[in-house]
């Protein structure tokens, strides 16, 4: 039952490949790793930095940049929970603050439109980027496995710094650890890749159901102990977390290390690898098939958007209603209630991407696309910027607002951070071709530290 509607979304005629651009006296060879080799036609003395920047923009896949920008902005809608209140409140609205009025409306908005949706898109884009990177390396005759491993190692180091020195909600380490999955499947047929991705998601589903039925049959004392550890910590633990984050940097270091290590080990092995790996494979399949590279017809994108959003919101809203009816209880809401969004988020993520694909293919609507594209071209830098901005606002060494704002009031912070990111990204790409962290990552991967911009 799960496979049928998703496979319907993937059915489309495989389009033709993209041709190299050759405009304005510059010919460009697309390498696929973010690095482009330029040559000159005509009078080379007329070439300037602006023409190079413009040509590099033309060579990028427009849809990917726009979607990546929307995803990095959208993911803050969920991450703001972990920045601003105890970690258990990310999943369970009953453990901190009030769950009524505007707070309840804001929670429902996040659950329906953001929860797992933008993480799904990021994971899919990671799978697509694996194909882009490896294809470019193979085309140039460079060592694919070794270079890819260096790139992933660089991401792993960035993620460790982010997780242990800044914020325990980091996802980069999980992506680095799961990166071998799309790499192993990169040269397989897109249908096989899609089936493998769905299989990983299905395994994660069965694992959750198995855990639910096992725990449901356990003694009440055991269930209560597990609930305190994973779902509804005692008030003393909640208070300690709030005090630590409102204190000096060193006061919440131990807590951050504990949460980061748990996320990268126990949670990754039991949940993350199946979710992240499955979505990476689906993204890889969608890139090979043409969906993520903007190659499908407008009516195909429109159909996928309609089907994806229709099914996705039906599943997600049903799960939200069921969790509310069960009063966000353990183990139901932890293992079963969230499965509706586990699958619904996949369909909604496909629908979001398809909307942009349809707008690009069928309409002249482009409002905000340039801004989203700029944010997307520096997605890693912007993701890290969100952390720096939000911990400065909420943690004790900055504004100290952790646990003090009503849940719905954090929407103001989200919008403010978005505005700053859009402005800075636009200014940055007026004179640069890569985001600041992306440039360091690229130089580490390809060993081009001395290359001039």
Give the per-residue pLDDT at 214. Answer: 95
pLDDT tens digits for range 129-168: 999 999 999 999 999 999 999 999 999 999 999 999 999 9
Whether residue 245 has pLDDT greater than 70? yes
Residue percentage of the chain with pLDDT more than 90: 85
Give the per-residue pLDDT at 146. Answer: 96
With CA atoms as reference, report the closest residue to 166 among 175, 158, 154: 158
Kindly give, in sequence order, each residue whose CB lies less than 8 Å from that of residue 205, ignoring residues fewer than 6 positions away: 2, 339, 342, 343
Task: Report which DSSP code applies to 246.
Answer: H
How far, rounded to the nearest angstrom, does the alpha carbon of residue 108 sit from its chain's CA centroid?
A: 20
Residue percentage of the chain with pLDDT more than 70: 86
Phi and psi (nearest 5°) for 272?
A: -60, -45
Kindly give, in sequence order, each residue whose CB lies less than 8 Å from that of residue 163, ignoring residues fewer than 6 positions away: 170, 172, 173, 256, 260, 263, 264
pLDDT tens digits for range 90-109: 999 999 999 999 999 999 99
Mean pLDDT of all residues in 205-220: 95
Strand partners, 26: 23, 40
206 compared with 7, residue with greater pLDDT: 206
Query: No. of H helices and E strands in the chain?
Result: 20, 3
User: Can you give the pTM of this predicted structure?
Assistant: 0.87
Q: Name the residue with tokens 């800044």.
A: 166
How far, rounded to the nearest angstrom, does the alpha carbon of residue 347 sit from its chain's CA centroid?
A: 15
Three-class SS state of 427:
helix
Q: In this structure, are residues 177 and 273 in contact, taking their beta carbons and an 8 Å threshold?
A: yes
Whether residue 309 has pLDDT greater than 80? yes
For 179, the token pair is 């990166």
- Cα distances from 59 to residues 64, 95, 114, in angstroms, run 12, 48, 30
| Whole-angstrom distance, CA of residue 119 vs CA of residue 72 | 9
| Whole-angstrom distance, CA of residue 286 vs CA of residue 125 | 9
pLDDT tens digits for range 349-402: 999 999 999 999 999 999 999 999 999 999 999 999 999 999 999 999 999 999
Check residue 215 and give left, alpha or beta (phi > 0: left; psi -120 to 50: alpha). Answer: alpha
| Whole-angstrom distance, CA of residue 81 vs CA of residue 77 | 8
Mean pLDDT of all residues in 2-12: 43
How far, rounded to the nearest angstrom, does the alpha carbon of residue 276 sit from its chain's CA centroid?
A: 10
First to last CA, the chain: 52
Give the per-residue pLDDT at 9. Answer: 44
**Per-chain mean pLDDT for the chain:** 89
Give the per-residue pLDDT at 222. Answer: 94
Q: In this structure, are residues 68 and 379 in contact, taking their beta carbons and an 8 Å threshold?
A: yes
With CA atoms as reference, report the closest residue to 259 among 248, 273, 245, 246: 245
pLDDT band at 58 (very low <50, low <70, confident <90, very high): low
Q: In this structure, are residues 286 and 346 in contact, taking their beta carbons and an 8 Å threshold?
A: no
Give the per-residue pLDDT at 205. Answer: 97
Neighbouring C-alpha atoms within 13 Å toward the C-beta of 375: 27
Q: What does the DSSP assignment read for 291-334?
A: TTTT-S-HHHHHHHHHHHHHHHHHHHHHHHHHHHHTTT-TTIII
């Amino acid at each position: 039952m799960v496979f049928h509607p998703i496979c319907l979304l993937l059915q489309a005629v495989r389009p033709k490949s993209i041709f190299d651009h050759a405009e304005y006296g510059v010919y460009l060879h697309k390498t696929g790793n973010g690095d482009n080799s330029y040559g000159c036609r005509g009078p080379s003395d007329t070439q300037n930095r602006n023409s190079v920047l413009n040509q590099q923009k033309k060579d990028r896949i427009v849809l990917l940049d726009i979607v990546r920008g929307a995803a990095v902005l959208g993911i803050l809608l969920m991450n703001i929970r972990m920045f601003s209140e105890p970690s258990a409140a990310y999943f369970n609205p009953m453990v901190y603050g009030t769950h009524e009025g505007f707070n309840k409306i804001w929670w429902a908005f996040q659950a329906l439109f953001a929860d797992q949706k933008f993480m799904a898109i990021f994971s899919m884009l990671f799978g697509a980027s694996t194909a882009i990177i490896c294809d470019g390396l193979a085309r140039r005759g460079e060592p694919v496995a070794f270079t890819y491993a260096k790139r992933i190692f660089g991401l792993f180091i960035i993620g460790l710094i982010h997780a242990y020195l800044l914020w325990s909600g980091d996802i980069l380490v999980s992506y680095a650890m799961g990166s071998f999955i799309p790499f192993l499947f990169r040269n397989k047929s897109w249908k096989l890749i899609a089936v493998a991705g769905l299989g990983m998601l299905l395994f994660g589903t069965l694992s959750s159901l198995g855990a639910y039925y096992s725990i449901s049959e356990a003694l009440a004392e055991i269930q209560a102990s597990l609930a305190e550890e994973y779902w509804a910590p005692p008030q003393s633990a909640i208070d300690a977390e709030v005090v630590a984050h409102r204190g000096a940097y060193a006061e919440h270091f131990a807590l951050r290390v504990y949460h980061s290590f748990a996320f990268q080990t126990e949670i990754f092995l039991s949940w993350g690898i199946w979710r992240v790996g499955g979505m990476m494979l689906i993204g890889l399949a969608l890139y090979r098939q043409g969906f993520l590279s903007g190659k499908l017809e407008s009516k195909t994108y429109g159909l996928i958007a309609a089907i994806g959003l229709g099914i996705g919101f039906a599943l997600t809203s049903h799960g939200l209603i069921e969790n509310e009816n069960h009063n966000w209880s353990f183990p139901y809401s932890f293992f079963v209630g969230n499965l509706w969004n586990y699958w619904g988020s996949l369909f909604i993520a496909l629908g979001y991407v398809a909307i942009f694909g349809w707008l690009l293919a069928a309409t002249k609507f482009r409002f905000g696309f340039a801004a989203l594209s700029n944010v997307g071209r520096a997605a890693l830098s912007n993701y890290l910027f969100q952390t720096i901005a939000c911990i400065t606002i909420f943690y004790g060494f900055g504004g100290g607002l952790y646990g003090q704002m009503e849940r719905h009031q954090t929407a103001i912070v989200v919008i403010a951070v978005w505005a700053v990111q859009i402005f800075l990204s636009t200014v940055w790409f007026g004179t640069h071709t890569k985001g600041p962290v992306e440039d360091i990552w690229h130089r580490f991967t390809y060993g081009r530290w001395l290359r001039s911009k």
